[in-house]
Amino acid sequence: MAEETTYILVERADAVATVTINRPDKLNALNWALINELAGKLEALDRDDAIHCIVLTGAGDRAFAAGADIAEMSGASAAQMALGPFEGWDHIRRVRKPIIAAVEGYALGGGNELAMHADIIIASEKARFGQPEILLGIMAGAGGTQRLSRTLGKFRAMEILLTGDQFTAQQMEDWGVVNHVVPAGQALAEAQKLAAKIATRAPIAALLTKEAVLAAFETPLEAGLLHEKRLFAMLFSTDDQKEGMAAFIEKRQAHFTGK
């Protein structure tokens, strides 16, 4: 059942929610209202115990999102840009459940940065990625300089950010940003298939795994290892740990309850 709002559609299938940016006539360009609405929907799903994994995609086959809304941004002052639009992005960054981005078509500028807010990226062979901000006289502002550098290293990040060129899904897979390239039209279905698999895994363990992996980007190794150790120990207080290990020993399928 689809529940419709202004820009964001949410569909549920068992423990997987599919969140669709629904502004195809503008190639799903991300205006501020859209980002705030997206953040609100993702936060609600994050709080919803029935949902274990989220798929994020764009409506239509032309774009995941072609970037921040240039028309809206064009008249903004520095003060407006410094204060206004980042709150929604910060909320998206803090979603604790696993997010899989399904990219069909363009993921440019803020669209590529939004895909990189996800934890896994599935891209169609027709997808195109890039950070064209420099062609508009600006630079990436929603984490692009940091996430590309940390994921691809300095030199590839520089090429993407300094040229503003578009890169194929295959290039991005070779470079380690995209997990899997799939035939045109299949990105959403493949992402949903993967999400359904992850949704069967122990939910608390999934949340804490995401937290620990993201900590690797924010902490030195020593602190990251300590953080991981604490989260790991914490999982031994859950029913799912007892169930998962008992199921292995009893040679049966585990049934996780998220407790």
| Catalytic positions, written as ranges | 68, 110, 113, 133
d(CA 96, CA 84): 24
The answer to whether 211 touches 231, Cβ cutoff 8 Å, is yes
The answer to whether 30 touches 65, Cβ cutoff 8 Å, is yes
Shortest Cβ 163–ligand CO8 spacing (Å): 13
Residues that bind ligand CO8 (rule: CB under 6 A) add up to a total of 20
**Which 3 state secondary structure label does DSSP give 67?**
coil
Residue 206 amino acid letter: A
Q: For ligand CO8, which is the closer residue by CB, 86 or 244?
A: 86
- Figure out which of the listed residues 142, 169, 195, 206 binds ligand CO8, where binding follows CB under 6 A: 142
Options 24-32, 44-52, 155-163, 208-216: segment touching ligand CO8 (CB under 6 A): 24-32
Pairing of strands 99-103, 63-65: unpaired
Q: For ligand CO8, which is the closer residue by CB, 20 or 192?
A: 20
In terms of C-beta density within 10 A (0-12 exposed, 13-18 middle, 19 or more buried), how is residue 60 classed?
A: middle
The label of the residue with tokens 């360009």 reads: 29
- Figure out which of the listed residues 136, 196, 214, 225 binds ligand CO8, where binding follows CB under 6 A: 136
Q: For ligand CO8, which is the closer residue by CB, 80 or 257?
A: 80
The answer to whether 97 touches 45, Cβ cutoff 8 Å, is yes
Shortest Cβ 106–ligand CO8 spacing (Å): 5
Can you give the binding site for ligand CO8, defined by CB under 6 A? 26-27, 29, 66-71, 85-86, 106, 108-110, 132-133, 136, 141-142
